[in-house]
Structure 1
Amino acid sequence: MKRRALGAFGVFMAGAMLLAGCGKSSSTSSNSGAKDAKKFPEQTAMTTAKSGGSITVAEETDTPFTGIFNDELADTAPDSDVAQFGDEALFGTDDQYKINNSGSATFKLNRKAKTVTIEVKKGVKWSDGKQVTAKDVEYAYEIIANKDSQSTRYTSSLADIVGLAAYHSGKAKTISGIDMPDGANGRKVVIHFNTMKPGMTQSGNGFFWEYAAPYHYLKDVPFSKLKSSDKIRKNPLYYGPFKVSKVVRGQSVTWVRNPYYWRGTPKLKKITISVVSPNTASQSIKSKKFDVINVVNSQWKEVKGTKGYNFVAKVPLSYSYMAYKVGKWDKKSGSVKMNKNSKMGNRYLRQAMAYAMNIDEVEKHYTQGLSFRVKTLIPEQFGDFNNSKLAGFPENLKKANALLDKAGYKKKKGETYRRDPNGKKLTIHLAAMSGSPNQEAIVQNYIQQWKKVGLHVTLTTGRLIEFNSWVDKIENDDPSVDVFMGAWSLSSEPSQDDMYGAKAPFNFSRFATAENTKLLKEMNSEKSFNHAYRVKKFHEWQAYMQKEAYVVPMYNSYSITAVNSKLVNYSLKPSQSGLVWYKTGFKK
Structure 2
Amino acid sequence: MKRIILLGIALFMFIGIGSSAVYSQNVTLPASVTNEGKPIKGGILKVGIVKDEPFQGVFLAELYENRYDAAIMSYASNAIFEMDGNFQITDEGIASLDVNQKENKVTITIREGVRWSDGEPLKIEDLILPYEIIAHPDYTGVRYDTEFKNIIGVEEYHEGKADKISGIRKIDGRTLEIRFKKLSPAIFSGGDGLWTYAAPSHQLKGIPVKNLIESDAVRKNPVTLGPFKFHKIVPGESVQFVKNPYYWKGEPKLDGVYVEVVPSSSVSVAIGSGKYDIVTGFAATKWPEIQKYDNIDILGRPELYYSYLGFKLGKWDPEKREVVTDLNATPVGNQALRQAMGYALDVEAVCEVLFFNFRQRANSLIPPAFKGYHDASLKGYTYNPEKAKRILDRAGYIDIDGDGFREDPEGNKLEIKFATMAGDPIQDEIAAYYLQNWRDVGLNVTLTTGRPIEVNAFYDKVEADDPEIHVFMAAWGTGTNPSPSGLYGKSDAFNFSRYTSEFLEETIRKIDSPEAFDPSYRAEQFRIWQQYMAEKAPVIPLQFSYEIVPVNKRVKYYSIDYGNPVELHEIELLAKESIKSK
The TM-score with structure 1 as length reference comes to 0.93
Instruction: Please give the alpha-carbon distance, in whole angstroms, between the structure 2 residues aligned to 1:293 and 1:35.
Output: 25
The alignment status of 1:70 with 2:60, answered yes or no, reads yes
Instruction: Please give the alpha-carbon distance, in whole angstroms, between the structure 2 residues aligned to 1:59 and 1:196.
Output: 37
The alignment status of 1:386 with 2:386, answered yes or no, reads no
Aligned-pair Cα RMSD in Å: 1.8
For residues 232 and 153 of structure 1, do their structure 2 counterparts lie closer, same or farther at Cα, with a shift above 3 Å needed? same
191, 198, 206: which one aligns with 1:212: 198
Q: Are the equivalent residues in 2 in contact too, given 1:17–1:319 (CA < 8 A)?
A: yes
1:29 aligned residue: none
2:277 aligned residue: 291
Instruction: Please give the alpha-carbon distance, in whole angstroms, between the structure 1 residues aligned to 2:468 and 2:394.
Output: 27
2:3 aligned residue: 11
Q: CA deviation at 1:50?
A: 5.3
1:331 aligned residue: 318
Instruction: Please give the alpha-carbon distance, in whole angstroms, between the structure 1 residues aligned to 2:9 and 2:240.
Output: 26
Instruction: Please give the alpha-carbon distance, in whole angstroms, between the structure 1 residues aligned to 2:36 and 2:384.
Output: 48
Q: Are the equivalent residues in 1 in contact too, given 2:184–2:515 (CA < 8 A)?
A: no
1:486 aligned residue: 474
Q: State the secondary structure of the residue aligned to 2:540.
A: strand
551, 555, 568: which one aligns with 2:556: 568
Instruction: Please give the alpha-carbon distance, in whole angstroms, between the structure 2 residues aligned to 1:547 and 1:370.
Output: 27
Unpaired runs of 5+ in structure 1? 1-7, 20-31
Q: Percent identity?
A: 37
Instruction: Please give the alpha-carbon distance, in whole angstroms, between the structure 2 residues aligned to 1:340 and 1:367.
Output: 35
1:502 is aligned with what amino acid? Answer: K
Q: State the secondary structure of the residue aligned to 1:307.
A: coil
Q: Are the equivalent residues in 1 in contact too, given 2:148–2:193 (CA < 8 A)?
A: yes
Of the structure 1 ranges 213-222 and 287-296, higher mean CA displacement relative to structure 2 is found in 287-296
1:282 aligned residue: 268
Count of residue correspondences: 563
The alignment status of 1:240 with 2:226, answered yes or no, reads yes
Instruction: Please give the alpha-carbon distance, in whole angstroms, between the structure 2 residues aligned to 1:553 and 1:136.
Output: 38
The alignment status of 1:422 with 2:410, answered yes or no, reads yes
1:11 is aligned with what amino acid? Answer: R
Q: State the secondary structure of the residue aligned to 1:181.
A: strand
Counterparts of 1:442-453 in structure 2, within 5 Å, are 442-453=430-441
Q: Are the equivalent residues in 2 in contact too, given 1:33–1:368 (CA < 8 A)?
A: no
1:319 aligned residue: 306
136, 140, 162: which one aligns with 1:146: 136
199, 213, 216: which one aligns with 1:230: 216
Partner deviation per Cα, 1:439-458 (whole Å, 9 max, x = no partner): 22221111111111111001
Q: CA deviation at 1:416?
A: 1.5
Instruction: Please give the alpha-carbon distance, in whole angstroms, between the structure 1 residues aligned to 2:122 and 2:563.
Output: 22
Q: Are the equivalent residues in 2 in contact too, given 1:312–1:560 (CA < 8 A)?
A: yes
Q: CA deviation at 1:526?
A: 1.9
Q: CA deviation at 1:36?
A: 6.4
Instruction: Please give the alpha-carbon distance, in whole angstroms, between the structure 1 residues aligned to 2:169 and 2:38.
Output: 42
Of the structure 1 ranges 559-568 and 60-69, higher mean CA displacement relative to structure 2 is found in 559-568
Q: CA deviation at 1:180?
A: 0.3
Q: State the secondary structure of the residue aligned to 1:534.
A: helix
Q: CA deviation at 1:370?
A: 0.8
Q: Are the equivalent residues in 1 in contact too, given 2:29–2:299 (CA < 8 A)?
A: no
Q: CA deviation at 1:79?
A: 0.7
Of the structure 1 ranges 77-86 and 417-426, higher mean CA displacement relative to structure 2 is found in 417-426
Counterparts of 1:39-438 in structure 2, within 5 Å, are 39-44=29-34, 51-182=41-172, 186-202=173-189, 204-294=190-280, 295-341=282-328, 342-438=330-426
The alignment status of 1:469 with 2:457, answered yes or no, reads yes
2:96 is aligned with what amino acid? Answer: T
Q: CA deviation at 1:336?
A: 0.4
1:511 is aligned with what amino acid? Answer: Y
For residues 360 and 243 of structure 1, do their structure 2 counterparts lie closer, same or farther at Cα, with a shift above 3 Å needed? same
Q: State the secondary structure of the residue aligned to 1:404.
A: helix
486, 494, 497: which one aligns with 2:485: 497
Instruction: Please give the alpha-carbon distance, in whole angstroms, between the structure 2 residues aligned to 1:350 and 1:15.
Output: 22
2:71 is aligned with what amino acid? Answer: D
1:569 is aligned with what amino acid? Answer: Y
2:578 aligned residue: none
Q: CA deviation at 1:39?
A: 3.8
2:15 aligned residue: none
Q: CA deviation at 1:576?
A: 4.6
Unpaired runs of 5+ in structure 2? 12-21, 576-582
For residues 33 and 573 of structure 1, do their structure 2 counterparts lie closer, same or farther at Cα, with a shift above 3 Å needed? closer
The TM-score with structure 2 as length reference comes to 0.93
For residues 291 and 491 of structure 1, do their structure 2 counterparts lie closer, same or farther at Cα, with a shift above 3 Å needed? same
Q: Are the equivalent residues in 2 in contact too, given 1:34–1:368 (CA < 8 A)?
A: no
Q: Are the equivalent residues in 1 in contact too, given 2:555–2:571 (CA < 8 A)?
A: yes
Q: State the secondary structure of the residue aligned to 2:524.
A: helix
